[in-house]
Amino acid sequence: MQDSQEYKEKKAFFEKIITLYGRNVVVEILQDNTVEIHKLHMASSNKPDGVIKKILQLAKARDIQIIHHDKNALSRISKNAKQDQGVAIDIISSSYLNAAELTKLTAFRIIALDGIQNPQNLGMIIRSCAAGNIDGIILPKKNSAKISPLVVKASAGTLFKLPIYFCNTLEEILPKLEDTKIYALSSHASSSIYNLKRSKKSIFVLGNESDGVSPEVQKICNDSISIPMKRDVESLNVAVTAALLAFIE
């Protein structure tokens, strides 16, 4: 029983770990004392000068554990051998949560992302939602952009200011959220985002940049809504759509 509890606690801890990579990104993270860091990973082949010297100094000043790896081992940690530049860092994000936590909440206004692939779009969506009237983002692990240096850059320092709820797929988590109005954004919908009735629990699903909301997720949604367009404009960038939703009262 105790072993089972320890396993659950360990799993919950590592679920909050986000691994980022790249020398400049790691410097920025080490300089931000509000970000909790688990470990710093370095390639053994790194020469201890320039940016690497600065990284080592910052890590030492914050008493962060440094682990040295060969290049292959580091690439397995960063999952991006071409761009990790011999450095990766594990962040403990208190705002990166299991989407099952939403079942415990009595009220929320959430944006769910269905197949969003562009990291810059993801970063801009996070930034708009953090600034607006959104309580969090559901980001599936499958078929979605991952939290990466490009996402960090596009979010302009807002990545850890808004809860990001992870799940394997939206099809898995959305049916579990009872008494929730789930809207799919669609250019073909007759209902407008400006005519929505207030609901204690609302989720707005934004679909893939090219194909929109997938048929599988569409079936789970209660309704489809659109953004009224003029001059025969068919659609907006998904990050712009998120921004409009974020600032509706």
pLDDT digits (tens, 9 = 90+) for 187-236: 888 888 888 888 899 999 999 988 899 999 999 999 999 888 889 888 88
Among the residue ranges 19-23, 46-50, 112-116, 234-238, the one predicted with the least confidence is 234-238
Mean of per-residue pLDDT scores for the chain: 92
The reported pTM is 0.87
How would CATH label the architecture of 2-92?
2-Layer Sandwich (3.30)
Among the residue ranges 21-35, 87-101, 160-174, 222-236, the one predicted with the least confidence is 222-236
3-state secondary structure of 80: coil
Report in angstroms the alpha-carbon separations of 147 from 48, 120, 151, 181, 230.
28, 10, 6, 27, 34
Integer Cα distance of 172 and 168 in angstroms: 7
Average pLDDT over residues 14-25: 90
Q: Which H or E run contains 31? A: helix 23-31
Please give the structure tokens belonging to residue 83: 């761009």
Integer Cα distance of 137 and 145 in angstroms: 13
Long-range contacts of 175-178, Cβ-Cβ distance < 8 Å, separation of 24 or more: 175/220, 176/100, 176/103, 177/102, 177/103, 177/201, 177/203, 178/103
In the chain, CATH 3.40.1280.10 covers 96-246
Report in angstroms the alpha-carbon separations of 87 from 6, 47, 49, 58, 123.
30, 12, 14, 14, 22
End-to-end CA distance of the chain: 47
3-state secondary structure of 220: coil
Average pLDDT over residues 37-44: 96
pLDDT-derived band at 2 (thresholds 50, 70, 90) equals: low
Q: Look at residue 1 and tell me whether its pLDDT is greater than 60.
A: no
DSSP E strand stretches across the chain: 17-21, 36-43, 66-69, 87-92, 96-98, 108-114, 136-140, 164-167, 181-185, 191-192, 201-207, 223-226
Integer Cα distance of 157 and 171 in angstroms: 30
pLDDT-derived band at 137 (thresholds 50, 70, 90) equals: very high
Q: Which residue has the tokens 């200011």?
A: 161
* pLDDT value at residue 156: 84
pLDDT-derived band at 129 (thresholds 50, 70, 90) equals: very high
Answer for the pair 161, 203: CB distance below 8 angstroms, yes or no: no
Answer for the pair 116, 145: CB distance below 8 angstroms, yes or no: yes
Q: How many CB atoms lie within 10 A of CB 78?
A: 24
Choices 3.40.1280.10, 3.50.50.60, 1.10.1060.10, 3.30.1540.10: CATH for 96-246 = 3.40.1280.10
Distance from CA of residue 243 to its chain's centroid? 16
* pLDDT value at residue 3: 67
In the chain, CATH 3.30.1330.30 covers 2-92
